[in-house]
């Protein structure tokens, strides 16, 4: 993992208990625990994320004063949700919620909360959900 690709996909080849800890978010969000795989995963097939669904680039411009753009890929037609969360994990805005065709799409967030008020300067997280799989990218709103 690096700052240009702030996510990770792990395939679990066998049943078992797998511990995890997210170094960038661990202290702030208590992102540690275990994943328990109880069945043979050999016949499940690749995850949608591994197949290419999710963000294809970091948000831009970043940092920004007024907006952020996103580019994402949908590997097969389906529902897509894009939400913005503050650094405390609270929902700030709903950017997308609907059906999209397979392909690469663009979206934009106007740095406003769902209420319509401009958000304060700070770090936000864009969370994209495609076929039940989430990926995220950091967005910094400057003064």
- For residue range 55-74, what is the model confidence (pLDDT) as tens digits? 998 999 999 999 999 999 99
Tell me, yes or no, whether 5 lies in a domain.
no
Average of pLDDT values for 96-111?
Answer: 96
Same-domain pairing of 60 and 119: yes
Domain that holds residue 23: 14-44
Same-domain pairing of 60 and 129: yes
Same-domain pairing of 39 and 64: no
Same-domain pairing of 36 and 60: no
Q: What secondary structure, in 3-state letters, does 64-110 show?
A: ECCCEEEEEEECCCEEEEEEEEECCCCEEEEEEEEEECCEEEEEEEC
Same-domain pairing of 72 and 36: no
Same-domain pairing of 40 and 74: no
The pTM of the whole model exceeds 0.75? no
Cα separations in angstroms, 96 against 6, 11, 18, 69: 21, 28, 33, 12
Same-domain pairing of 105 and 59: yes
**Distance separating alpha carbons of residues 84 and 90, to the nearest angstrom:** 9
Q: What are phi and psi of 73, to 5 degrees?
A: -115, 140
| DSSP helix/strand/coil, 27 | helix
Number of domains making up the chain: 2
| DSSP helix/strand/coil, 10 | coil
Same-domain pairing of 65 and 129: yes
């Amino acid at each position: 993992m690096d700052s240009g690709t702030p996510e990770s996909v792990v395939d679990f080849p066998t049943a078992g208990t797998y511990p995890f800890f997210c170094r960038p978010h661990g202290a702030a969000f208590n992102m540690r625990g275990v994943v328990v795989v109880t069945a043979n995963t050999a016949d499940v097939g690749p995850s949608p994320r591994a197949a290419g669904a999710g963000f294809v680039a970091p948000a831009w411009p970043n940092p920004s004063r007024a907006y952020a753009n996103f580019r994402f890929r949908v590997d097969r037609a389906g529902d897509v949700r894009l939400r913005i969360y503050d650094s405390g994990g609270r929902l700030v805005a709903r950017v997308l919620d609907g059906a999209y065709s397979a392909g690469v799409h663009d979206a934009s967030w106007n740095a406003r909360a769902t209420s319509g008020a401009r958000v304060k300067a700070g770090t936000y997280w864009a969370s994209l959900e495609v076929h039940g799989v989430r990926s995220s990218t950091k967005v910094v709103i400057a003064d």
